[in-house]
Amino acid sequence: MAILLFSDFGASDLYVGQVETVIDRYAPGVRVINLLSEAPTFNVRASAHLLAAMASQVPRGHVFMTVVDPGVGTQRPGLVVRVDGRSYIGPDNGLLSVLWARGTMKTAWHITSHPPGVSVSFHGRDIFAPMAASVVTGEFPNENVKSIPAPGELLSGDDLAEIIYIDHYGNAFTGIRGTNADESRELLIRRMRFPHARVFGDAPRGKGFWYVNSLGLVEVAMPADSAAKMLGLRVGQGVQWVA
């Protein structure tokens, strides 16, 4: 079992290393994998959909520490959920609620106490990392949590018909799962229409197309070019199917 980090801590910044140092202290020898540290900042809903897609592809048993938390320092409690064999620790702000809504076997806890000396601005390091370590080492459930019926902040588990992530190649991920997509239809974004292609090699140069990407999500891409730059795509833009 590994601890997988999903956050907006920044790929160039000093936050991920501090989290790893804390995990090393409480769960020495456990592998820490940084899945993503550039989740859409301040955008809990897009992040929740991206996380749900990534988590579905990871072996059961792994523990996720997840932080996209514009409200850090407010009274919002910390959350632990176990959904279909995987565990997740993060803020109770909706981030874990899309995968919760889609799950079958599931339990939830609020974090009620934590190690002394918690900072007001870095709960990832001071609350969630020690809790992730206690989950991965099997010390959980412990006296620092209380069982709750469900997370307090709940988002829908339905697909999100928006752009939720743009990768460094310029590909635009939507929150629509490929299992819900019909290859005969076109995707409409900003008055542009994109037909389906199975893969980059099948699409004409200089034209955008949609396909089901490696996370199982509908993605808009352009062969050997940045779809985001060429087409002006950004996280949060709405998408819709047209005949």
Give the interface with a second copy as residue ranges (CB under 8 A).
Answer: 2, 4-5, 10-18, 20-21, 24-25, 28, 31, 33-38, 41-42, 50, 54, 57-59, 62, 70-74, 119-122, 125-126, 165, 167-169, 198-202, 211, 213-214, 224
Question: In whole angstroms, how close is the CB of 179 to a second copy at the nearest point?
Answer: 14
Question: In whole angstroms, how close is the CB of 185 to a second copy at the nearest point?
Answer: 19
Q: Which one, 109 or 125, has the nearer CB to a second copy?
A: 125
Q: Which one, 190 or 229, has the nearer CB to a second copy?
A: 229
The string of DSSP codes covering 24-82 is HHHSTT--EEEEES---TT-HHHHHHHHHHHHTTSPTT-EEEEE--TTTTSSPPEEEEE
Q: Which one, 69 or 162, has the nearer CB to a second copy?
A: 69
Q: Which one, 35 or 83, has the nearer CB to a second copy?
A: 35
Residue with structure tokens 């064999």? Answer: 85
Question: In whole angstroms, how close is the CB of 149 to a second copy at the nearest point?
Answer: 27
Question: In whole angstroms, how close is the CB of 83 to a second copy at the nearest point?
Answer: 17
Neighbours of 32 (CB within 10 A): 20
Q: Which one, 192 or 224, has the nearer CB to a second copy?
A: 224
**How many CA atoms does the CB half-sphere of 233 hold within 13 Å?**
31
Question: In whole angstroms, how close is the CB of 235 to a second copy at the nearest point?
Answer: 14
Reading the block at residue 53, the tokens are: 């897609």
